[in-house]
Structure 1
Amino acid sequence: MNLDTIDFKILNQLRNDAKLTTKHLALQVNLSPTAVFERIKKLERNQVIAGYQAKINPFKVNLSFLAFCMVQLEKHTQEYLNVFESEVNQLEAVVECNHVSGSYDYLLKVRVKDMDAYREFIVTKLTKIPYIANTQSAFSMKVVK
């Protein structure tokens, strides 16, 4: 699917607020609401828009501690990768997991209540996953963007 500048304007607006009405978007991109509605449906059909989510304020749900955990596996076999990915998908505290290049194999974004909860997560959940050779953590001091 070829995207034009209007599609990108619509996507940018929806990225900032997915609840915008087609009427509001139409005013932003100088099209009719019907034309904007059709463009959005086409973007959804072509999976350019993969879905919609609610952005939860972590401070309101007692998950204000943000950690990034780098995970290195013992080996890089398909079996080890599959087992790790399957297991990590079961961990509620992991809000994002990326297979990355470099010294570590995975970068996890973890949200929990506090440092004690993070320690509990590492000791009782993450390190129970087979084939983990090493982990390293970094903690967010402030979300900038």
Structure 2
Amino acid sequence: MTELWLMFSGAFLAATLLPGGSEVLLIGLLQQDNQSWLGLLIVASLGNTLGAVTSYYLGRAGRFAKSPADFDNKYYQRSLGWFERFGVWALLLSWLPLIGDILCLIAGWLKLPMVSSTIMIFIGKTVRYSLIVFVFMAAI
């Protein structure tokens, strides 16, 4: 049970703007007990999604502090372009390093629908963790 809380916390913090290596944590916990892979996959996906939703709400709160002209950073520009092209579907890429955090922030800033945003984030995060678990389990 402790390992599930550790995985949830690590995944949650890694999805916020704090740096973290939830993938390394997942592999380490799988090495200790690969029989709990499903529980670890579920809590990693949920924790990482809830952390991303926190970033979404920070983006929503940031509407009062930033105008579109303030987004001159190349990662922000790339993320905005993805939203212009793909809409909420761009959040399937929320698992990407650096850009994923910004995607969640901008989704909130753009006031994309919360439910569909959360679903897309959850799918993207779950696919990433599923691939990690699959590769690990295939390697042992």
Using structure 1 for the length normalisation, give the TM-score: 0.26
- Structure whose residues are more often strand by fraction: 1
- Structure whose residues are more often helix by fraction: 2
Of the two, which has the highest radius of gyration?
1
